[in-house]
């Protein structure tokens, strides 16, 4: 009946026994007059409950195919659980294909971030300095990506611009993940009127077409990169609130949560120490995918004049400035456009690798 009965049962029993033992010890210290037989009865009841919950999880897993079970997630965060395939030595570097992809993607992201962080020290020219005598120069040995209409070196500006575009995206994703995730977790855990209120507010935000709403907010805030980040944060947090709320709702009645309750933990502690670590996988994957989206959207708002302002070398703003020259001097728009494409590709590859790593079905395939 169960797809992985041996490992699942072992894990369940291990967890249940651990929590049950803790619970029993604390109960014993508080109420010394309770009988050992009664304790044993409780433990057996919860073991049975855990087992039924686990069976239900496996049935759900089989039906949905790609749904991550709490067991899968918990195994990733509670010390990890290597599958048989993972334990096999791969043909290269002794790793599975998924892990190799993940490491390669991580290295790409690290290299990219290093270029963005330290590139400013390596750029050949001051990215802000105008040199009108060299305006609109085609790519050459002196200017590898050419110059713009003000004679500014495009390579220097593209590298400098990465700081604005990429870091604004990372800050934005971090904020909406934490803020939306926190609200979603509270909604899922508390339920009741608070859940209804926050979800209806999120409905309001979701009712508008995202980019149109972002343009309106950025316009009201009179432009600037910070305005663009705030505008995108306004439209993006409900996605995380709903995701985390759903995950919390699906896990809060699971056996290990009951076991944590029985061990005397309080609500917020269970939410933060037991539930959140076990639902982090899908949230991290979603956030990783969103980095690429946010790079595009921040650049989009800047392209429309609602993000970074001149002379900031933000990629969207650079493309906007070069738009009018696309027919005669295409390199002015191609340079930031290509940088944007590479950044999104790198983060999307990383997001795919994260997804594969966190999905036991793919990881073990």
Partner 1 sequence: MGAKRGEHIVRVRTKTIGIIFVAAIAVLLLVLVGCASSGSNARSSANSFTYGTTSTWSTENEDHGFNPHNTYCGWTTVRLGVGETLFKFDDDMQIQPWIAQDYTFTDDTTAVITIKDNVCFSNGKKVDGQAVKECLDDLVANHDRAPSDLKIQSIDADGQQVTIHLAEPNPALMYYLSDPYGTIVDMDSECDEHTCVGTGPYVVQSTSGDTVELAKNENYWDGDVHVDHITVRNISDGDTLTMALQNGDIDAAYGIPYLDRALFDNNSGYHISQTATSRVFECAFNYHHSVMQDQNVRRAICMSLSSEEFVDILLDGYGETAVGPFPDTFSFAADPSDAAPYDPDGARQLLEQDGYTDSDGDGYLDKDGQTLEITWLTYPSRQELPQLAEYAQSKLKDVGIKVDVNNTADHRNFVRSDDFDVYASAIVSAPQGDPQYYFTTQYLDSSSYDAGHYSNPQVTADIETLSTTFDTQERSDLARQIQQEVLADNGYYYASFLQMAIVSNNRVSGLEAHPCDYYELTADLRVN
Binding site for partner 1 (CB under 8 A): 128-130, 132-133, 135, 149-150, 305, 309-311, 323-328
Closest among 67, 156, 68 to 339, alpha carbons compared: 156
CB of residue 325 to partner 1, shortest distance in Å: 6
| 3-state DSSP assignment of residue 6 | helix
The length of the chain is 365
158/72 Cα distance (integer angstroms): 42
Kindly tell me which of 37 and 328 has the beta carbon lying closer to partner 1: 328
CB of residue 9 to partner 1, shortest distance in Å: 30
Residue 258 tokens read as 């009951």
Kindly tell me which of 51 and 150 has the beta carbon lying closer to partner 1: 150
CB of residue 277 to partner 1, shortest distance in Å: 40
CB of residue 343 to partner 1, shortest distance in Å: 25
The single residue listed with the structure tokens 């009664």 is: 38
Kindly tell me which of 40 and 126 has the beta carbon lying closer to partner 1: 126
Greatest CA separation for the chain: 93
Q: Please, is 74 exposed, middle or buried when counting C-beta atoms within 10 Å of its C-beta (0-12, 13-18, 19+)?
A: buried
200/196 Cα distance (integer angstroms): 6
274/81 Cα distance (integer angstroms): 17
CB of residue 2 to partner 1, shortest distance in Å: 23
CB of residue 126 to partner 1, shortest distance in Å: 10
67/206 Cα distance (integer angstroms): 24
Residues paired with 147 in a beta bridge: 153
- The answer to whether residues 173 and 165 touch, using CB atoms and an 8 Å cutoff, is no
CB of residue 301 to partner 1, shortest distance in Å: 15
Kindly tell me which of 27 and 221 has the beta carbon lying closer to partner 1: 221
CB of residue 365 to partner 1, shortest distance in Å: 18
198/178 Cα distance (integer angstroms): 15
Closest among 227, 257, 277, 246 to 183, alpha carbons compared: 246
- Buried b or exposed e, range 138-169, using 16+ CB within 10 angstroms: eeeeebebbbbebbbbbbbbbbbbbbbbbebb
Kindly tell me which of 32 and 222 has the beta carbon lying closer to partner 1: 222
153/150 Cα distance (integer angstroms): 9
Kindly tell me which of 158 and 285 has the beta carbon lying closer to partner 1: 158
CB of residue 151 to partner 1, shortest distance in Å: 8
């Amino acid at each position: 009946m169960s797809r992985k009965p041996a490992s699942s049962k072992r894990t369940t029993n291990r967890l249940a026994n651990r929590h049950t033992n803790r619970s029993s010890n604390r109960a014993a210290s508080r109420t010394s007059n309770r009988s050992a037989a009664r304790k044993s009865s409780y433990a057996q009841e919860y073991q049975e409950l855990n087992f039924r919950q686990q069976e239900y999880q496996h049935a759900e897993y089989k039906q949905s195919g790609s749904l991550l079970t709490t067991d899968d997630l918990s195994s990733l965060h509670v010390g990890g659980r290597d599958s048989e395939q993972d334990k096999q030595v791969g043909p290269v570097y002794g790793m599975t294909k998924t892990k190799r992809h993940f490491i390669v993607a991580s290295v790409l992201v690290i290299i990219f971030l290093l270029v963005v962080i330290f590139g400013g020290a390596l750029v050949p020219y001051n990215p802000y300095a105008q040199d009108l005598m060299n305006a609109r120069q085609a790519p050459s040995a002196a200017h590898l990506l050419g110059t713009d209409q003000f004679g500014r070196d495009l390579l220097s500006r593209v590298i400098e611009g990465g700081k604005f575009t990429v870091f604004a995206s990372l800050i934005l994703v971090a904020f909406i993940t934490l803020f939306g995730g926190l609200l979603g977790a509270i909604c899922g855990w508390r339920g009741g009127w608070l859940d209804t209120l926050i979800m209806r507010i999120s409905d309001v935000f979701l009712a508008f077409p995202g980019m149109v709403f972002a343009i309106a907010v950025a316009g009201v805030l009179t432009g600037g990169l910070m305005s663009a980040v705030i505008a995108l944060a306004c439209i993006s947090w409900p996605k995380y609130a709903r995701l985390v709320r759903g995950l919390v709702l699906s896990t809060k009645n699971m056996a290990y949560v009951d076991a944590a309750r029985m061990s005397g933990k309080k609500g917020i502690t269970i939410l933060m120490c037991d539930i959140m670590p076990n639902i982090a996988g899908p949230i991290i994957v979603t956030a990783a995918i969103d980095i690429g989206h946010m790079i595009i959207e921040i650049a989009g708002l800047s392209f429309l004049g609602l993000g970074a302002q001149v002379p900031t070398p933000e990629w969207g703003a650079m493309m906007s400035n070069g738009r009018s020259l696309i027919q005669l001097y295409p390199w002015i728009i191609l340079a930031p456009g290509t940088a944007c494409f590479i950044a999104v590709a790198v983060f999307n590859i990383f997001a795919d690798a994260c997804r594969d790593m966190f999905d036991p079905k793919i990881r073990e395939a």
